[in-house]
Chain A
Amino acid sequence: DIVMTQTPLSLSVIPGQPASISCTSSQSLLYGDGKTYLCWFLQKAGQPPQLLIYEVSKRFSGVPDRFSGTGSGTDFTLRISRVEAEDVGVYYCMQGLLLPHTFGGGTKVEIK
């Protein structure tokens, strides 16, 4: 199975400041179709996960442009340019390359 490792485990951010979360996979997520199947989710308290970013850097419909994803191969980063109060929750990366699809352990983001 592909192991997904997220850092840090938690993050406390001042509103308006940037935040960054890293995700590393145990093998390359580049598929034969040229796409890299890494996505990011945000799970707010008491809610299901919501898709933020797919294929490393594509923002899902309705996701604010303060969220961006970068990376390639095995190393990926989610950046929030200016954290807002509504961004609190747990962020997960997930690989969609191979079954079983696997998730990172999560990064809890809170407002300082």
Chain B
Amino acid sequence: EVRLVGSGGDLVQPGGSLRVSCAASGFTFSGFWMHWVRQAPGKGLAWISSINTDGSTTNYADSVKGRFTISRDNAKNTLSLQMNSLRAEDTAVYYCARGGRTFDYWGQGTQVTVSS
């Protein structure tokens, strides 16, 4: 069974940093692109970052470029998102998702709240 379990969400002050993670199981993690998608309170879905199978290629939405860094550890089957210089508008549920051009499995999400 494919499982993606997100963790690391927290309440953080504006300007602060946070690292969220996604633990994968039930499939060959190293064989799939992975993504982060976020959903602000009461809003729709927004793709924010992707990483290829070996971590050599990363992509970011303009809204997070230069502040967020996606990475993966294929030995530990883990996807991560390092978030720096956090802003109030980064408050959202952060989902990891598997796939290239189709996101077939999603994690349950981890809540990040940026507030003083």
Contacts and interface: CB of A to CB of B under 8 A. Distances in A.
Of the candidates B59, B106, B107, B108, the one having the most CB atoms from chain A within 10 angstroms of its own CB is B106
Interface in B71-116: 95, 100-109
A31 to B, nearest CB: 8
A96 B102 contact: yes
Interface of B: 35, 44-47, 50, 59, 61-62, 95, 100-109
Contact of A105 (B44, B107, B108): B44
B106 A96 contact: no
22 contacts: A39-B102, A47-B108, A48-B95, A48-B106, A48-B108, A49-B95, A49-B106, A50-B106, A51-B104, A51-B105, A54-B104, A60-B104, A92-B44, A96-B103, A97-B101, A99-B47, A100-B47, A100-B62, A101-B47, A103-B44, A103-B45, A106-B44
Given A99-B59, A100-B61, A51 B47 contact: no
Contacts of A94: 45, 103
A43 B95 CA distance: 12
Contacts of A103: 44-47
On chain A, which size bracket covers the interface? 20 to 34
A60 B105 CA distance: 10
Of the candidates A54, A96, A101, the one having the most CB atoms from chain B within 10 angstroms of its own CB is A101
Top 4 nearest A-B pairs by Cβ distance? A96-B101, A48-B106, A54-B102, A101-B47
Interface in A72-112: 90, 92, 94, 96-97, 99-106
